[in-house]
A and B are shown apart, each in its own frame.
Chain A
Amino acid sequence: MKAAPFVLHGPKTVEEAAGLMAELGDDGGIVLAGGQSLVPMMALRLAYPSHLIDINGVEGLSKVGIADGALSIGATVRHAFFHHEHPQAGVLGRLLTTVVRHIAHYPIRQRGTFCGSLAHADPASEWCLVATTLGATAVLQSASASRSVEIDRFIEGAMTTSREPDEILVGARLPLLPENARFGFYEFNRRAGDFALGMALAVYETEEGLMRNVRVGLGGIEEKPRRISAAEAVLEGRPAEREIFAEAAQAALAGLDPMEDATTSALYRRDLAAVVIRRALEASVAGGTPKQ
């Protein structure tokens, strides 16, 4: 249970970090941010990077800001930052504060980072689901260039992203939500703090009692989170009512491709998909998260 040997680098600037990635990225070098997934994988020898580029000391990456209608989150912003609502982030701030409580446990949230979750791209990642549902943008930096990538093109599959070996995910942008937006989140797992077996996030605006601009995201079921357009189509323009939520949850089942593992069958996850979507929608009329 000890990590394989590696060389630890402690750059102080983004340029320095990008320079190290240009030199070492192709040779097994990888970014270390919160380390709450990477370090366990190293202890279990599932990962054995030859170089770790520790970005915790890099200036300017720990900032959260609002600009151009989006919340920008730097690469070393911890999950725990969202324990308290961001005063200017409105409904999005409330959404993030609701979801963060489902991520692992309190001490893990003190170190783990928002962007690290996106870069790790675990199918059970709450932040990957939030980013996908809301249409986030990933900001990547290499020694020679910077580029922004839509989250759907960034997350390619389970633990797989389109990040090039020499690139660093330096930040992410989440679009702010209008004041008339409602959201509901529901996650199912067997123990508190465990990986999600299935989860859903529903976000919509209400106009004269009808749901508009409906977004329904599903996570933990398939290899990557995605919006479920069949469910969204059922909900769009209709009142936020239980029967309609149930109809949308059933509609989501068509075309699902659930994962299977030793303890959880694909059939179980398929059923769970409908349950978490319905409960997320029900949570949206109960203030965001259901009473346990």
Chain B
Amino acid sequence: MNEPIMDKHPLELTVNGRAYRVDVEDRKTLADTIREDCGLTGTHVGCEHGVCGACTIIVDGHPVRSCLMFAHQAAGKTVRTVESLADGDRLHPLQQAFIDHHALQCGFCTPGFLMLVVGALESDPELAEEQLIELLSSNLCRCTGYQNIIKAVRSVASQLASRATGPGEA
């Protein structure tokens, strides 16, 4: 018999507008739950202690480390992952900008960077130019040396910021 402390508890998560009914232990992180229980493996798990940023997702409009939240803490919240960005075959402008500027190589860190930037510019559209650099220092990329990520983000920053207040945006 399991110790009660290891029991799984039912939970309803809203991810990318869809409700998922899952059954997870209290200690299971939101990152692991999104990947293993919701089957959304676009969110990557790197360091598992909040340093690398690969697992960055948007919770109630703010970019956060999903390895530093327990899944049950996301009950009743609106969760968005990288799977929400593209509209069918049409990529999100930031995704297209990453391709155009060669802002990824192996791609492991990319979902985290995309959600970091989308979340930050939506909730903080007035983020100044030098704050964009500080923002991008939040996540680790071991391939690109960051310059191409900075170029990609700069190329669409004003477009993304205007989406924050544009019609039809949550």
Contacts and interface: CB of A to CB of B under 8 A. Distances in A.
A5 B3 contact: yes
Contact of A110 (B4, B48, B62, B70): B62
Given A5-B5, A8-B26, A43-B67, 20 more contacts: A2-B32, A4-B27, A6-B5, A36-B50, A36-B65, A39-B49, A39-B67, A39-B70, A40-B51, A54-B73, A106-B120, A107-B63, A107-B116, A107-B119, A110-B63, A110-B64, A111-B62, A111-B65, A191-B137, A193-B137
Contact of B27 (A2, A40, A54, A106): A2
Contacts of B32: 2
Interface string A21-43: 00000000000000110011001
Interface in B42-95: 47-51, 53, 56, 62-65, 67-70, 72-73
Contact of B64 (A10, A50, A111, A191): A111
Interface residues of B, number: 34
Contacts of B26: 5-8, 52
Nearest to B68: A39
Contact of A36 (B68, B72, B73): B68
A83 interface: yes
A208 B14 CA distance: 60
Contact of B56 (A80, A107, A192): A107
B79 to A, nearest CB: 14
B156 interface: no
Contacts of A110: 62-64
A109 B26 CA distance: 24
Contact of B49 (A6, A44, A101, A106): A44
Summarize A's interface: helix, strand, loop or mixed: loop
From A1, A10, A44, A110, residue with most partner B Cβ within 10 Å: A110
Contacts of A52: 26, 70
A39 B50 contact: yes
A145 B159 CA distance: 53
A140 to B, nearest CB: 24
B124 interface: yes
A194 B32 CA distance: 26
Given A5-B25, A192-B134, A111 B3 contact: no
A242 interface: no
A108 interface: yes
Nearest to A112: B68
A52 B6 CA distance: 14
Given A4-B27, A101-B134, A80 B62 contact: yes
Contacts of A101: 134
A97 interface: no
Interface string A1-17: 11111111010000000
Interface of A: 1-8, 10, 35-36, 39-40, 43-44, 50, 52, 54, 56, 80, 83, 101, 105-108, 110-111, 191-193
B3 to A, nearest CB: 7
B5 to A, nearest CB: 4
A80 B124 CA distance: 11
Contacts of B124: 83
Complex A-B, nearest 4 residue pairs according to Cβ-Cβ distance, in ascending order: A105-B138, A40-B49, A1-B48, A8-B26
A105 B27 contact: no
Contacts of B62: 80, 107, 110-111
Interface in B7-26: 25-26
Nearest to B76: A57
Given A106-B63, A106-B138, A192-B137, A7 B68 contact: no
A102 to B, nearest CB: 10
B135 interface: yes
Contacts of A107: 53, 56, 62-65, 116, 119, 138
Contact of B70 (A8, A40, A105): A8
B26 to A, nearest CB: 4
Contacts of B5: 5-7, 50
Nearest to A110: B62
Contact of A111 (B4, B68, B138): B68
Contacts of B69: 35, 39, 111
A27 to B, nearest CB: 12
A256 B3 CA distance: 50
